[in-house]
Amino acid sequence: MTRTSKVGGRDEEVARGAGPALLDVRGLRITSRIGGRRRVIVSGMDLALSPGETVGIVGESGSGKSMTARAILGLLPPGLFAQGTVHYEGRNLLELPERALARMRGADIGLILQDPYTMLNPLLRCGRHIEDTLRQRDKSWRGRRAHRDEALRRLEEVGISDPSVADRYPFQLSGGMRQRVGIAAALARDPKILVADEPTTALDVTTQKESLALLKSLQSTRAMGLILITHDLRIAFSMCDRVYVLYAGSLLEVGTAEAVEAEPLHPYTLGLLLSEPPATRRVSRLVAIDGTVSAADDVADRCAFAPRCKWKQEPCERGKPPLADLEGARQSACVRIDEIRGEIGELRRAAERPAEPVGVLAPARPLARVENVRKVFEGRAGRAGIDGVQALAGVSLEIGEGESVALVGESGSGKTTLGRCLVGLETPTSGGITIDGVTASDYGALSVQERRRLRRTVQMIFQDPYTSLNPAHSIGFTLREALRVGPEGTHDLDGSASELLERVGLPAAYLARKPVALSGGERQRVAIARALAVRPQLMVCDEPVSALDVSVQAQILNLFKRLRGELGVAYLFISHDLAVVRQVVDRVYVLHRGEVVESGPVDEILDDPHHPYTARLVASVPRSDRDWLSGQP
């Protein structure tokens, strides 16, 4: 094979691992057997990890990244089976009996899971979680005191210096604190390998950055091997020495983080990099990967990315292309990489073009006005000592006609509550909301006509596409029902429903389908179509893309932009993701503990934040470079 080198094979040692591999996975294949049918979940997975190295497994949902981690630890759910070899210290972990594996987990290989809310036993105090693990390590009798002191030391290692935390129950701690306790417990027996499965996905952005920085420093001081599983390329690049790009159960590209970031050598990696919305500038149109993630089983006999690849040719579907070695210890599973390398490079450079300025908009006629809205969620009635929780502490904002406005903040900032007040799902405790001239503070107090008018003015898009459509009804039923309450009346409902689907980029044949047959992105499109059915002037979008894969997220963001151009609909975009916000809105309100701390045009706020909270939010947006984690929050 003749491959020419452009990138230069730097860090051969890092790439191949210095010395013998700590963990060596070869030909891992995971299959499921449910309902008598065999399905491939992961195939041909090779992975090597050296002591002190961090490798990232990057993939979207359905890529099999979590199952790979579980297979390494022998924790596959019932009905799933692993073949191949996983060598650790001369033993094949896949062949070890459960008892030997159980001894090994925690002691040799530690695991951190995604959800800090379920990782800890709610009935045990935080200190106990660590002490119990310590006792496992050290069977010799040591006093309670010694274990306790050690547990406190461990907590301090993960940045919890307050010893009283050890005596608290998990529910008394914040998500970030819980994740820290989880990390301390996972490290209590000083494992040589730590597997972290989406360790920060459930955390707020600022907490995410702190947790990642903590993991990174623990990993380097202990010279531990770290396998980081994430869907976020930026995080993988900033944390890892090498990355493995996984897609629909197949490994598509392997290389050092710097090299992959500089020059992706697989169309899928390129697509991922391009569809990531840039946090620092606005682009008129995001480059999205067409289609949706295939099921691993459907693409088991061809290049997994072929159905979505624009360079696809006949050889791509002839068989599963193996990973081929390229220069610089890089590997790519693209059979045409030699031919298309130049094109990939060009596209990558083209994406670096400068920001497009947000057009300065003439002040639009105000459509919705929120004045000094407070919302207190009452504690349990009649129970002493429980005060209400104040979600909104006097928020005022304005949305103009056809304007796109973002409400950003972390969880608990009250942003969702405000959105729900606007559509009448919550009623403010005090303050006023006016939408299109109608007082919308209390939907229940409105006349039937006024309420109908409001419903046709403001609609909502929910976060989770998997629950925002009724599973019992077809797409057609859902859309026809929405059209019937809209201003167009009831003539030719099917025709109007097809038009709606077309508007959001779906074929009319989807009318007959049930939501289960749709992917997450398609469901979100239907949810948007349903909201559009009543011809609203304002759409409240509550984290509409945060549950979607990156490659699909770009499609939906483009759809939002297009719809605004076509229909002149205004958005209230509720989001924690500043990179997403940058792409779709004109103005931003930053919400912190129920108060607007800063507001203004999106470029001004994100480029030059004045309030320290805004500055922290901006700094915590993941970046691909290594300085991101070392910088001050």
- For residue 442 the two structure tokens come to 């209390």
Q: Which of 7, 9, 11, 61 is in the footprint of another protein by CB under 8 A?
A: 61
Q: Would you give the binding string for another protein spanning residues 16-35, x where CB under 8 A is met?
A: ----------------xxxx
Distances (CA, A) of 248 to 79, 268, 604: 19, 11, 40
| Angle made by CA atoms 271, 273, 275, in degrees to the nearest 5 | 65
Q: Which residue type, as a one-letter code, is found at position 167?
A: D
Q: Is 525 in the site for another protein (CB under 8 A)?
A: no
- Composition of the chain by helix, strand, coil, percent to 5: 40, 20, 40
Separation of alpha carbons 122 and 177, rounded Å: 14
Binding segment toward another protein, per CB under 8 A, in 73-81, 104-112, 343-351, 601-609:
73-81
Q: Which residue type, as a one-letter code, is found at position 331?
A: Q
Q: Is 576 in the site for another protein (CB under 8 A)?
A: no
Distances (CA, A) of 46 to 35, 85, 241: 29, 9, 16
Q: Is 481 in the site for another protein (CB under 8 A)?
A: yes
The per-residue b/e assignment along 134-171, b for 16 or more CB within 10 angstroms, e otherwise, is beeeeeeeeeeeebbebbbebbebbbbeeeebbeeebe
In the complex with another protein, the residue whose CB is nearer, 165 or 547, is: 547
Please enumerate in sequence order all residues whose Cβ is within 8 A of that of 522, keeping only pairs 6 or more positions apart, or say none: 292, 506, 510
Q: How far is the CB of 344 from another protein (least distance, A)?
A: 26
Taking each helix axis from N to C terminus, what angle separates 175-187 and 205-222, rounded to the nearest 10 degrees? 20
The count of other CB atoms within 10 Å of the CB of residue 633 is 11
Separation of alpha carbons 531 and 455, rounded Å: 10
- For residue 118 the two structure tokens come to 């379920």
Q: Which of 418, 527, 538, 545 is in the footprint of another protein by CB under 8 A?
A: 527
Query: Counting every residue, how long is the chain?
Result: 633
**Beta bridge partners of residue 573, listed in sequence order:** 406, 541
In the complex with another protein, the residue whose CB is nearer, 34 or 146, is: 34
In the complex with another protein, the residue whose CB is nearer, 48 or 251, is: 251
Q: Is 459 in the site for another protein (CB under 8 A)?
A: yes
Q: Is 411 in the site for another protein (CB under 8 A)?
A: no
Q: Which residue type, as a one-letter code, is found at position 582?
A: R
Q: Is 611 in the site for another protein (CB under 8 A)?
A: no
Please list the alpha-helical segments (H only) found in 516-549. 520-532
In the complex with another protein, the residue whose CB is nearer, 341 or 523, is: 523
- For residue 417 the two structure tokens come to 């509550």
Q: Is 555 in the site for another protein (CB under 8 A)?
A: no
Q: Is 444 in the site for another protein (CB under 8 A)?
A: no
Q: How many residues bind another protein (CB under 8 A)?
A: 57
DSSP 3-state assignment of 46? strand
- For residue 558 the two structure tokens come to 């483009």
Q: Which of 520, 521, 544, 594 is in the footprint of another protein by CB under 8 A?
A: 520
Q: Is 407 in the site for another protein (CB under 8 A)?
A: no
- For residue 197 the two structure tokens come to 């499965």
Q: Is 469 in the site for another protein (CB under 8 A)?
A: yes
Q: How far is the CB of 482 from another protein (least distance, A)?
A: 5
In the complex with another protein, the residue whose CB is nearer, 8 or 97, is: 97
Nearest to 191 by CA among 157, 160, 217, 226: 226
Q: How far is the CB of 539 from another protein (least distance, A)?
A: 10
Q: Is 534 in the site for another protein (CB under 8 A)?
A: yes
Q: Which of 27, 79, 437, 568 is in the footprint of another protein by CB under 8 A?
A: 79
Q: Is 78 in the site for another protein (CB under 8 A)?
A: yes
Distances (CA, A) of 606 to 141, 575, 581, 585: 56, 14, 10, 12
Q: Is 231 in the site for another protein (CB under 8 A)?
A: yes
DSSP 8-class letter at 317? G
Q: Which of 53, 60, 210, 598 is in the footprint of another protein by CB under 8 A?
A: 60
Binding segment toward another protein, per CB under 8 A, in 120-128, 152-160, 470-478, 621-629:
470-478
Q: Is 58 in the site for another protein (CB under 8 A)?
A: no
Q: Which of 115, 298, 450, 603 is in the footprint of another protein by CB under 8 A?
A: 115
Q: Hey, which residues between 497 and 516 contact another protein (CB under 8 A)?
A: 516
Taking each helix axis from N to C terminus, what angle separates 337-350 and 267-275, rounded to the nearest 10 degrees? 10
Q: Is 530 in the site for another protein (CB under 8 A)?
A: yes
Q: How far is the CB of 479 from another protein (least distance, A)?
A: 11
In the complex with another protein, the residue whose CB is nearer, 17 or 64, is: 64
Q: Is 382 in the site for another protein (CB under 8 A)?
A: no
In the complex with another protein, the residue whose CB is nearer, 61 or 390, is: 61
Distances (CA, A) of 186 to 120, 131, 531: 11, 11, 45
Binding segment toward another protein, per CB under 8 A, in 60-68, 160-168, 313-321, 359-367:
60-68
Q: Is 450 in the site for another protein (CB under 8 A)?
A: no
Q: Is 553 in the site for another protein (CB under 8 A)?
A: no
Q: Is 452 in the site for another protein (CB under 8 A)?
A: yes
Report how far Cα 474 is from the mean position of its chain's Cα atoms: 28
Positions that interact with another protein (CB under 8 A) = 32-36, 59-63, 65-67, 70, 77-80, 114-115, 197-198, 201, 231, 423-425, 451-452, 455-456, 459-460, 462-464, 466-473, 481-482, 485, 516-517, 520, 527, 530-531, 533-534, 547, 549
